[in-house]
Structure 1
Amino acid sequence: MSRASYTENQKKAFVLEWMQSNKPKSRWFQDAKDAGHIQGHYNSFDAWIKLYQHELEINPNFANTLGDIYATERQREALAATLQSVKVKPANIHSIGTSKNLLDEFQQTLLPDDVQKKYIEFLETKVNLLVIDINAIRSENEQLKAELEGLKKSNSE
């Protein structure tokens, strides 16, 4: 969340959290920023404190409601972060399991059968063309070796 998009209730929740921490403003802000809980500049946070601290001190019920709202939002953000961290990424798909059969079985579930069949046919065609190219290169290589041997023999005579 960018600093410009904090609602008034979120700002109050930050101030409330700082008040409950009993830490100096600058220390709380730096810890919260390092943990990724808050963004923006310390001066903005200081302005929020000047704006909301008195209100939060004289209305404890309002403070409790804000704490609940902020805790709920924090829980949603934590859940979203957790869900993001467990998404399967192409780079770590092989970490799903060490069993090749299990991985193959899993990958079979990723595509519909007709797409799998077409993709397998496409890959087989590519591989077959590569094998043909390799065989042609090997044949040419053998012919060149034979020519080279013939030239060596004629030079040595």
Structure 2
Amino acid sequence: MKNLVFYTMLAVMVVLSSCETSNTDEVLQDEAALKSGKKVMNFRAHLSGDQEAPPNESIAQGQAIFQLSKDGTELSYKLIVANIDNVRMAHIHVGAAGTNGPVRVWLYPSAPPMMVIPGTTNGILAEGVITAANLLGPLAGQPLSALVELMQAGNTYVNVHTDAYPPGEIRGQIFGN
């Protein structure tokens, strides 16, 4: 009788363990694919005033989309905005949601100094390609994968600065695939 209970429990454990899915394997495969340059990765951010730190009541909105090249050396981007006035600049910053962090990549303009776009902007604010050469601060001199790892972890955000809100009018955390 003991053997029957033992083998029944063993069979149940085998069946249950085969039903479990593991995100660990998927994460390891994604990391290996990223390092080997065989997987295209996409990232996005929805920008609004309520995501700023502190939040504001701007009616402006935005979307940022990013796509990492298969070899991992280029990050193409497009930043689209609506109902935003007198844009000064836009960047990728490092920081968790609700916290302000330093600039690590310029998006608009592509490099300093800032350039105010007078009036209301609706549509594409900026598009281009980010490479390791565009990284600033502690990321300068690092491979592009250093920024991508921060993006994958949810520790980066896009911030659009304006005359009305110099620290940032709309912001959105960057999330991947």
TM-score band w.r.t. shorter chain: under 0.3
TM-score by length of 2: 0.24
Larger radius of gyration between Structure 1 and Structure 2: 1
More strand by share: 2
More helix by share: 1
TM-score by length of 1: 0.27
User: Which structure would you say has the larger RCO, counting Cα contacts within 8 Å and 6 or more residues apart?
Assistant: 2
